[in-house]
Structure 1
Amino acid sequence: MEELKINFNMYVPTRFIFGCGRLNELHEQKLPGKKAMVVISNGKSTKENGSLKRTIDELTIAGVESVVFDKVQTNPLKSTVIAGAKTARDNGCDFIVALGGGSVIDASKVIAAMATNDGDIWDYISGGTGKGKAIENDPLGVICITTTAGTGSEADPYGVITNDETNEKIGFGGDDRLFPLISIIDPELMKTVPSKLTAYQGFDALFHSTESYISKYASLMSDMYALTAIENAAKYLTRAVKDGSNMEAREHMAFANTLSGIVMTVSVTTAEHSIEHAMSAYHQELPHGAGLIMISKAFYEFFIDRHACDERFIAMAKAMGIKEANKPEDFITALVDLQKACGVDELKMSDYGIAPDEFDKIATNARETNGFLFTANPCEMTNQDVVDVLRNSYR
Structure 2
Amino acid sequence: MSFNYYIPTRVLFGKGQLEQLHKQALPGRKALIVTSAGMSMKKYGYLARLEDQLKKADIDYVIFDKILPNPIKPHVMEGAALAAGNGCDFVIGLGGGSSIDSSKSIAVMATNPGDYWDYIGGGSGKAMPVPNDPLPVVAITTTAGTGTEADPWTVITNDESNEKIGFGYDKTFPVLSIVDPDLMMTVPPHLTAYQGFDALFHSTEGYVNRFANEMSDMYAIKSIQLLGKYLPTAVNEGSNEEAREKVALANTVAGMVESTSGCTSEHSLEHALSAFHPELPHGAGLIMVSEAYYTFFAKSGSCDQRLVDMAAALGKKDASEPMDFVAALVDLQKACGVYGLKMSDYGIKAGEIEALARNARHTMGGLFACDPAELSDENVVEILKKSYK
What pairs up with 1:9-88 in 2 under 5 angstroms? 9-88=4-83
| Equivalent residue letter for 1:379 | A
The residue number in structure 1 matching 2:241 is 247
Count of matched residue pairs = 389
Tell me which moved more, 303-312 or 222-231. 303-312
The residue number in structure 2 matching 1:312 is 306
Match of 2:143 among 145, 148, 160: 148
Matched, 1:343 2:337: yes
Listed one character per residue, the Cα deviations across residues 12-46 of structure 1 (whole Å, up to 9, x for unaligned) are 00000000001000000001111111111000111
User: Secondary structure of 1:38's partner?
Assistant: strand
TM normalised by structure 2 equals: 0.99
| Equivalent residue letter for 1:235 | K
User: Secondary structure of 2:144's partner?
Assistant: coil
Listed one character per residue, the Cα deviations across residues 231-275 of structure 1 (whole Å, up to 9, x for unaligned) are 001110000001111110011001000010010111121100000
Match of 1:201 among 169, 189, 195: 195
Residue 346 of structure 1: CA displacement?
Answer: 2.2
Listed one character per residue, the Cα deviations across residues 174-233 of structure 1 (whole Å, up to 9, x for unaligned) are 2x1111000000000000001100000000000000011011011111100000000001
Residue 370 of structure 1: CA displacement?
Answer: 0.6
| Equivalent residue letter for 1:25 | Q
Residue 368 of structure 1: CA displacement?
Answer: 1.0
Match of 1:128 among 123, 126, 134: 123
Match of 2:319 among 322, 325, 334: 325
Listed one character per residue, the Cα deviations across residues 79-131 of structure 1 (whole Å, up to 9, x for unaligned) are 11111111111221111111100000100000000001010000000010000
% identical equivalent positions: 58
| Equivalent residue letter for 2:317 | K
Tell me which moved more, 194-203 or 362-371. 362-371
Structure 2 gap segments, 5+ residues each: none
What pairs up with 1:344-383 in 2 under 5 angstroms? 344-383=338-377
Matched, 1:229 2:223: yes
Q: Any runs of at least 4 consecutive aligned residues in structure 1 with deviations exceeding 4 A, and if so which?
A: none
User: Secondary structure of 1:323's partner?
Assistant: coil
The residue number in structure 2 matching 1:3 is none
TM normalised by structure 1 equals: 0.98
Distance, in Å, in 2 between the alignment partners of 1:37 and 1:137 is 18
What pairs up with 1:91-130 in 2 under 5 angstroms? 91-130=86-125
Matched, 1:213 2:219: no
Residue 318 of structure 1: CA displacement?
Answer: 0.4
The residue number in structure 2 matching 1:266 is 260
User: Secondary structure of 2:12's partner?
Assistant: strand
C-alpha RMSD of the superposition: 0.7
Distance, in Å, in 1 between the alignment partners of 2:132 and 2:51 is 28
User: Secondary structure of 1:96's partner?
Assistant: strand
Listed one character per residue, the Cα deviations across residues 285-340 of structure 1 (whole Å, up to 9, x for unaligned) are 11100000000000000011111111111110000001111111111111001101
The residue number in structure 1 matching 2:385 is 391
The residue number in structure 1 matching 2:232 is 238
Distance, in Å, in 1 between the alignment partners of 2:198 and 2:281 is 10
Residue 163 of structure 1: CA displacement?
Answer: 0.3
Structure 1 gap segments, 5+ residues each: 1-5
The residue number in structure 2 matching 1:284 is 278
Distance, in Å, in 2 between the alignment partners of 1:264 and 1:95 is 24
| Equivalent residue letter for 1:40 | T
User: Secondary structure of 1:161's partner?
Assistant: strand
Residue 10 of structure 1: CA displacement?
Answer: 1.1
Distance, in Å, in 1 between the alignment partners of 2:281 and 2:242 is 26
Matched, 1:166 2:195: no
| Equivalent residue letter for 1:66 | Y
Distance, in Å, in 1 between the alignment partners of 2:300 and 2:201 is 20
Listed one character per residue, the Cα deviations across residues 60-88 of structure 1 (whole Å, up to 9, x for unaligned) are 10010111110000110001111111111
Distance, in Å, in 1 between the alignment partners of 2:168 and 2:17 is 28
Distance, in Å, in 2 between the alignment partners of 1:215 and 1:50 is 40
Distance, in Å, in 2 between the alignment partners of 1:185 and 1:21 is 9
User: Secondary structure of 2:50's partner?
Assistant: helix
Listed one character per residue, the Cα deviations across residues 348-381 of structure 1 (whole Å, up to 9, x for unaligned) are 0000111111111111111111111001111010
Distance, in Å, in 2 between the alignment partners of 1:370 and 1:346 is 26
Distance, in Å, in 2 between the alignment partners of 1:319 and 1:83 is 43
Distance, in Å, in 1 between the alignment partners of 2:172 and 2:302 is 34
